[in-house]
Amino acid sequence: MELTLEQIRRITHGAARIVQEADGVRFCRFTARQEEIYREVSADFYRKSFATAGILLEFVTDSQTLGLEVAMQKASSRSFAFHDIYADRCLVGRLGSRDTASGLFGERYRLGAGTKTVQIYFPWSAASVLRRLELDDGALLAPVPRPNRMLLFGDSITQGYDALYPSHSYAALLADAMNADARNKGIGGEKFFPALLEEAEAPAPDYITVAYGTNDWSSRSAEELERNLREFYARLSALYPASRIFAVTPIWRRNENEEKPAGRFAHVGELIEQTAAGLPNVTAIRGYWLVPHDPSLFADERLHPNDAGFAYHAERLAASIRALLAAGR
């Protein structure tokens, strides 16, 4: 049986909107207004806003097979893209390519006998339109609710650069660890951008993580950095007064000792910590130590973690958030 749009809606996490279009079902992680804002300021960021980072289909089924067909279009500076398919946390297969993030892809997978929980992680590096999702005729289909809601703001590292597989990005791993329906707002190359916070999204998230700063340091003046950083957190805190906001300072980068117009790399973290201390629902987390300072844990050996680096990133960030929540901070 081929799943309907309504059935697909019920099993989707990470989408602000789900739209039926002529070529299939499109999952949107930004609101229509946020997409329009990016269209007005940057063609590159607008293209990246359509990447399906953080989109997850999760459901319980007794189907023994699963048919998946997608149409992908490049939505990052990377030329690889995959969908990861799991049954009861065991990898069933990957749909996509190491060589291209564009084109039509389809496959049928064996899920095995019995009832199981299936997860399909969509690519962070491409915009993937779902053309077909099929289960055995008469098969059980039950959504898997996630009790927590999250927003994850950030740059390329939050979008997913450079996890080879989408389920290995820190954002996907963190969402799983927090049992959260998480909307990934990461955009490669992005900086603190207060204009993105024009209106609150509903329902309000329980938790919000913010992980900008590394691009601000490398391309902004000290004055621009401080102004945009403080305004972003002030707006975010006001928009979501009941949400717990975690201000994550930048992770290590290999050229941290270079002098930039914004000053020392460490200054960005210090400024984030100072800003968080002045807002009632914002708590800083030091990101500098989340990923060990080992170039082998970075795909480019300097900035973007690889799958192994992201495993550290997610595990340590989740532990920090849990500890703060347990302490009531």
Name the class of domain 148-326. alpha beta
pLDDT of residue 54: 98
Q: Select 5-143's CATH number: 3.30.930.10, 3.40.50.1100, 2.60.120.260, 3.20.20.70.
A: 2.60.120.260
- Give all strands (DSSP E) within the chain, no chain letters: 12-13, 17-21, 24-28, 56-61, 65-74, 81-87, 90-97, 103-110, 116-121, 126-135, 142-143, 148-154, 180-184, 207-211, 244-248, 282-285
At residue 328, the pLDDT reads: 81
Q: Helix H segments across the chain?
A: 5-10, 32-41, 43-48, 156-159, 170-177, 214-219, 222-239, 265-277, 307-326
* Residue range(s) occupied by CATH 2.60.120.260 in the chain: 5-143
Residue 50 pLDDT: 98
Residue ranges, comma separated, of all CATH 3.40.50.1110 domains in the chain are: 148-326
Residue 138: CA atoms inside 13 Å, Cβ hemisphere, count?
0
- The partner residues of 245 in beta bridges, in order of sequence, read 208, 282
Which candidate, 30, 3, 266, 267, places its Cα nearest to that of 142? 3
Q: How do 244-248 and 282-285 pair as beta strands? A: parallel
CA distances (Å), origin 32, targets 15, 38, 255: 12, 10, 37
In this prediction, the residues of the chain whose per-residue pLDDT falls under 70 are 329
pTM (whole model) above 0.95: yes
Q: What is the pLDDT of residue 244?
A: 98
